[in-house]
Amino acid sequence: MMTARGKWTQLAVLALVIALLPLFFPSGYYYRVGALIFVNALSVVGLVILIGYAGQISLGHAGFAGIGAYACALAPEHLGLHPGLAVILGAVVSGIMALLIGRPILRLKGYYLAVATLGFGILVSMVLTNERALTGGPDGMSVEDLGLRALLRDLGWRLSGGEFWYGVSGFVLLIGAWLALNLFDSPTGRAMRALHGSEVAASTVGVDVARQKLRAFVISAVYASVAGSLLALQNGYITPDVAGFMHSIEMVTMAVLGGVGSVLGATLGAAILTLLPQVLTVFAEYEQLVLGAVMIVVMIFLPQGLLPSIARRIRGRGE
């Protein structure tokens, strides 16, 4: 099992990768891809808490990403809020939504839970698509700049858009990973993992099962929301696709691909699935084919996910 030292090792590995990766970038474009990976990884770390710790599933977390993204697009325009504060507003709204719908939804299990969350996600994306007057409909809307980069420039620190967002997303991911790893060994984290093992057993030793599930759901919703906000801010533009069914599926796949119990694994999963379309641009028509095949093959042959399976193999050889 993961120990306190494991926590710092994981964080150090993550920090080193984020810091050293740019040394290998042949062009500025890679900063953009890196930033996108970190944003995806952030929402996937949220899912690690929900799926990996607490053992619940959600096929609708893109709905929360949508709320976060559109908070950043709408609040500055209609409420005059600074985009940075809009991120917080989005997170609060997502958290409250998760609290409200989580209570009835989380009584469900397995497929029923999957479909209920899926229904929620699709309803959010439908509202974003249909309320044209507010959201610009399927064409999306532009997002106000954060203004932080201009501030840094005035202070004499010139960064390209890619470099800036690489740094910001990497930093937020580190904080998210740190919080998630702290949670793992906390009483709450232990309670979540206990109910993952067996709800009945957990409740007999005094774990408030419903409450802990709800906590995991709300926390992961906030992660997804912040990731959605960052995505909107760094692209300067947002469409309802961010809340779409396919995005929810991608998030869960990233989490399970890397290893749903581990924060580092989740980041690896996010990196692979984010890079896949970039690598396949030449074979754009094959993207879906490859994505589907990857999902099936990994689930059959590496059911624990990539990172835990690889770790086990290395450990097995060492013995």
Partner 1 sequence: MDALLQFIFSGMTVGAVYALVALGFTIIYNASDVVNFAQGEFVMLGGMITVFAHQAGLPLPLAAVLAILATAALGVALNKLAIEPARGAPVVSLIIITIGASILIRGATQLIFDKQLHRFPSFSGDDPIRVMGATILPQSLWVIGGAVAVFVALWLFFTRTLTGKAVLATANNRVAAQLVGINTGWVMTLSFGLSAAIGALAGVLVTPITLVSYDVGVALALKGFAAAMLGGMGNPKGALLGGLLLGLLEALTAGYLSSQYKDAVAFIVILGVLFVMPQGIFGHKSTERV
Query: In the complex, which residues of this chain contact partner 1 (CB under 8 A)?
Result: 51, 57, 59, 104-105, 108, 110-112, 114-116, 118-120, 122-123, 126, 130, 200, 245, 249, 252-253, 256, 260, 285-296, 299-300, 303
Minimum CB distance to partner 1, residue 269 (Å): 12
Backbone angles phi, psi at 135, to 5 degrees: -105, 0
Rounded to an integer, what is the distance from CA 254 to the centroid of its chain? 9
Closest CB 245 distance from partner 1, rounded Å: 7
Q: Decide if 121 contacts 248 (C-beta within 8 A).
A: yes
- Minimum distance between the CB of residue 84 and partner 1, rounded to whole angstroms? 33
Q: What percent helix, strand, coil does the chain show, rounded to 5?
A: 80, 0, 15
Whose tokens are 């004499």? That residue is: 156
The residue (of 85 and 108) whose beta carbon lies closer to partner 1 is: 108
Residue 50: closest CA among 7, 106, 97, 91: 106
Chain-centroid distance of CA 269 in Å reads 11
Q: Which is nearer to partner 1, 35 or 124 (CB)?
A: 124
- CB neighbour list of residue 301: distance below 8 Å, 6 or more residues apart: none
Distances (CA, A) of 87 to 75, 143, 179, 244, 278: 9, 12, 18, 20, 28
Nearer to partner 1, 25 or 245 (CB): 245
CB of 263 to partner 1, least distance (A): 18
Residue type, 125: S
Nearest approach, Cβ of residue 110 and partner 1 (Å): 4
Helices (H) and strands (E) in the chain, counts: 15, 2
Helices (H), 263-305: 263-279, 287-301
Tokens of 248: 């929810």
Of 118 and 177, the one with the shorter C-beta distance to partner 1 is: 118
Strand ranges for 168-308 from DSSP E: 237-238
Q: Which is nearer to partner 1, 118 or 307 (CB)?
A: 118
* Residue number, 229 or 253, with CB nearest to partner 1: 253
For partner 1, give the closer residue by CB, 110 or 316: 110
CA–CA gap between residue 6 and residue 18 (Å, rounded): 18
34 versus 102: smaller Cβ distance to partner 1: 102
Nearest approach in angstroms of CB 117 to partner 1 is 10
